[in-house]
Amino acid sequence: MLRFEFVLSNHQRFFERIIAQYFRGEQKQDVFQEFSLHLYGLYQQKFPNDAHLFDSRAWLRTILVNFCISQIRKEQAQKNSVWTKTSSLVILKSDELVQFSEDDIQNLYTAALGCVSKKEALILKMKFEYKCTAKEIERRLGVQHADVLIARIKEKVRKKMGRIDLEF
């Protein structure tokens, strides 16, 4: 029986070359990780009946190219809908404690979740809103190294919002 880890490691360079055609820098690694999750879902769904698909580079290429195009579309949609309300280059600093209203905090929270994919938003909600442990997130969502993933998502939110003072 063909294992998912074997499929992923066997085709990793192939996947990375295709992703590099669409994305640059750190984004390549993020897209590869997200694609790995997507491919795992397909593996669980299709492997029992269509195991031969995972040997076909043509099929894998089609799946990956469509995934990359979807990621680009998601980014464009986020930029068009979220950025007009959340982008800010001004960071206010004060020596005294600033009280935010509940609405301000909720708006900032919503804007932060709008900067990431639905899965990443779910991970953040599970961690900070529902107080789930990293192990529980890993178990429920089938992800690995949830604590590392959360740190990357938090950094992504900070970069996209142009804010370094965000506390989670």
- pLDDT per residue over 19-48, tens digit each? 999 988 888 889 998 988 888 888 888 776
Smallest CA-to-CA distance from 160 within 77, 109, 105, 86 is with 86
**What pLDDT sits at residue 90?**
44
Provide the CATH number for the domain around residue 140. Answer: 1.10.10
Per-residue pLDDT tens digits for 66-104: 999 988 888 887 766 544 444 444 444 445 555 566 777
Per-residue pLDDT tens digits for 138-163: 888 888 888 888 888 888 888 887 75
Helix (H, G, I), strand (E, B) or coil at 64: helix
**What pLDDT sits at residue 17?**
92
21 CB burial (10 A radius; 0-12, 13-18, 19+): exposed
Is the confidence at residue 127, as pLDDT, over 70?
yes
Q: Which of the four pLDDT bands, split at 50, 70 and 90, describes residue 166?
A: low
In a domain, 95, yes or no: no
In a domain, 87, yes or no: no
Domain count within the chain: 2
In a domain, 85, yes or no: no
Do 105 and 76 lie in one domain? The reply is: no
Do 104 and 50 lie in one domain? The reply is: no
Q: What is the dihedral of CA 118, 120, 122, 123, to 10 degrees?
A: 170
**Amino acid code (one letter) for 117:** S
In a domain, 91, yes or no: no
Do 104 and 156 lie in one domain? The reply is: yes
Do 67 and 9 lie in one domain? The reply is: yes
Q: At which of 47, 80, 113 does a domain end?
A: 80
Q: What is the domain range of residue 76? A: 4-80
Do 14 and 54 lie in one domain? The reply is: yes
